[in-house]
Amino acid sequence: MSAYPSLAPFVAKRPWLRSFLKPVANWYANAAGYRQLGLRADDLITEECEDTLKALKRLSPQEAYDRVYRIRRAMQCSVSHQLLPQEQWTKAEEDVPYLVPLIEQIKAEAKEKEDLDALTIVKNH
Amino acid sequence: MFSRTALSRGTQLAARGQASSKLAQRRGYAAAASAPSSFIYDTTDVAGVKVATRDSHGPTTKLAIVAKAGTRYQPAPGLTAALEEFAFKNTEKRSALRITRESELLGGQLTAYHTREALVLEASFLREDIPYFTELLAEVISQTKYTTYEFNEDVERVLQIKQARLAANVAALALDSAHSVAFHTGLGAPLYPSPSTPLKGYVDEHKVASFAESVYAKSNIALVGDGATTTALSKWTEQFFKSVPASAASVNSASTTYYGGESRTAHKGGNSLVIAFPGSSFGTFKPEVAVLSALLGGQSNVKWAPGFTLLSKIAAANPGAVASATNLAYSDAGLFTIQISGAAGAVRATSQEAVKALKAIAEGTVSKEDLTKAVAKAKFDALAGSESGINTLLAAGSGLVHTGKPFQIAETITSIEGVTADKLKAAAKALVDGKASVAAVGDLHALPYAEELGLKV
């Protein structure tokens, strides 16, 4: 479904591999530095794209407000060259995808439309 | 070369003229003493769903779910209209787009509309596709998702467009306010919320979903098939309507009382005046009202002439206005309306003349010839109305959900034949002496008050 090839589904299906790689993934996410600015991974998705814009409109008012708050706070940190105090860092369990499911839903809709536009009818009689 | 038929048709007709006229005389006019059996709906109860079918053996079928969910039963303004917009949207099994594309491929048409009493989901399709559309209708009423984004992106947007269109339609506004002064709540609720109706807090996807849950239940819906056999429809209904809940939560079902009164609304977009009286309902059919509305009429049946109806004669004398009389029948009440629209001055003159005409009928000045014409017209309207079209589906369906048996318009014609001049006079007198409901929308400086027209409100 996603635009680039991913090993994530392969890993997610195998519990032993998943438990082996999970600490590595957590280390990588922490090292990426966005959690120290109070952001979530989905806040980093580029906004200049039709699907994302549509998905942003479909967020609930609370989610949309929280997203704007996180981004503004991170901007402020970036401008003042500081990190947030450690108790305000995003925890691993808070870093859940909230936008990706919506984008996937929108992509699925577009794909269904494309498929229906390109369908050929076979009469079975 | 001319074709043989085209060339010889005239001569054939001329040659046969004498013979055929004799034939016609011998046979007499076709007399519809009672409704033909193909007009009558058969009712069955299939696994708790009330099903009415009528088969005219045509190539197409109309299948409709008639739910007791019209504006009369809505717990808050705008819910019926929003539920109507949610018809054929995403369900648990397939998307709105897929529903549209699939029914297009089968050559079917899907429509949803509501009246004051019923919400109708209708599918018209080729006869052999009945399993597909029965399944679809069952799926739409039981498995629609009522998502937030569809409400924001589609439903609310369309609602606002339709509200804006209504705001410019003075005739609809006048009819709505006549209903509201006549019945207050219930049937008095406007058919469509006007743009100034506050909907915030009343209409959102959760409220619509819970309204749908309370009205889309087996006890609250009827499945009406026009052009389908009972066996076929029963078979598929049994299979596909299993997931529909059995009984509904209580819907607002207070019985209707007629109040009467007057309402005046200023509007720049035109002028419309509605004069309404308690009319004939489906439950208690009053043949005199049917004849009275045929006699007052409004629409001409002949070309280039006003015809025999009183209102069209009056309207012809006052150019710039259009007048018509209708009986709007509901399950337990009816509203007999005279609606006049057009230029303010003409509406004023026409309404005064129309009330005079009604009072003249109440004094018994109708000629015998006019009465005969009116009875014939009323009979024709009843039969033509039950031949095809949405009226039959709607009448059969609302009858089933309200009383357990379909309202057969065609069955009323024998009682229409029994209307005499005395009965008509008495009925008109009762209307004129009773309380009227008068609604004026438009240029209030020119439009008359009920008092000026000589009506009691």
**Token reading at A90:** 């995003």
Please tell me the distance from the alpha carbon of residue B317 to that of residue B315, in angstroms, as a whole number: 5
Own/partner long-range contacts of A121-125 (Cβ < 8 Å, ≥24 apart):
A121/B105
A111 touches chain B (CB under 8 A): no
A116 touches chain B (CB under 8 A): yes
* Sign of the C-alpha dihedral computed for residues B171, B172, B176 and B182 taken in this order: positive
Closest-CA residue of B relative to A122 is B105
Q: Global pTM? A: 0.86
Beta bridge partners of B45: B50
**Edge-to-edge strands of the sheet including B272-278?**
B261-266, B437-442, B272-278, B334-342, B321-329
Residue B30 has what pLDDT?
47
A94 touches chain B (CB under 8 A): no
Task: Tell me which chain A residues have a C-beta less than 8 angstroms from the C-beta of B152.
Answer: 57-58
Residues 6+ apart with CB under 8 A from B150: B86, B89, B90, B96, B205
Cβ <8 Å between A116 and B148: no
Cβ <8 Å between B105 and A109: no
Closest-CA residue of B relative to A121 is B105
Taking alpha carbons only, the member of B421, B426, B418 closest to residue B362 is: B426
Number of CB pairs, chain A paired with chain B, less than 8 A apart:
17
| Residue reference for tokens 């998502």 | B147
ipTM higher than 0.85? no
Domain B261-453 has CATH 3.30.830.10: yes
Closest-CA residue of B relative to A113 is B97
Residue B220 near residue B69 (C-beta atoms within 8 A): yes
pLDDT digit string (tens) for A13-68?
A: 999 999 999 899 889 988 999 999 999 999 999 999 999 999 999 999 999 999 99
Closest-CA residue of A relative to B151 is A58
Task: Map out the domains of chain B as residue ranges.
Answer: 38-243, 261-453
Cβ <8 Å between A113 and B149: no
Residue B8 has what pLDDT?
52
How far B145 CA sits from the closest chain A CA (Å)?
14
A47 touches chain B (CB under 8 A): no
pLDDT digit string (tens) for A59-95?
A: 999 999 999 999 999 999 999 999 999 999 999 899 9
Residue B26 has what pLDDT?
44
Please tell me the distance from the alpha carbon of residue B260 to that of residue B243, in angstroms, as a whole number: 44
Cβ <8 Å between A112 and B97: yes
B38-243 and B261-453: identical CATH topology: yes
List the pLDDT tens digit at each of the 457 positions of chain B.
Answer: 455 554 455 445 444 444 444 444 444 444 444 556 677 888 899 888 999 998 888 899 999 999 999 999 999 999 999 999 999 999 999 999 999 999 999 999 999 999 999 999 999 999 999 999 999 999 999 999 999 999 999 999 999 999 999 999 999 999 999 999 999 988 999 999 998 889 989 999 999 999 999 999 998 999 999 988 999 999 999 999 998 988 766 676 778 899 999 999 999 999 999 999 999 888 888 999 999 999 998 888 888 888 889 999 999 999 999 999 999 989 889 999 999 999 999 999 999 999 999 999 999 888 999 999 999 999 988 888 777 666 788 888 888 888 888 877 667 788 898 899 999 999 999 999 999 999 999 999 999 999 999 998 8
Task: Classify domain B38-243 at the CATH class level.
Answer: alpha beta
DSSP codes joined into one string, B345-392: HHHHHHHHHHHHHHHHHHTT---HHHHHHHHHHHHHHHHHHHHSSHHH
Residue B389 has what pLDDT?
62
β-strand pairing of B60-67 with B221-226 = antiparallel
Residue B321 has what pLDDT?
93
Cβ <8 Å between A121 and B101: no
Closest-CA residue of B relative to A61 is B148
For each of the domains in chain A, give its residue range(s) and CATH number, in order of start. Answer: 8-117 (1.10.1090.10)
Task: Tell me which chain B residues have a C-beta less than 8 angstroms from the C-beta of A109.
Answer: 95, 97
Task: Tell me which chain A residues have a C-beta less than 8 angstroms from the C-beta of B106.
Answer: none
Residues 6+ apart with CB under 8 A from B280: B286, B287, B289, B290, B327, B329, B334, B336
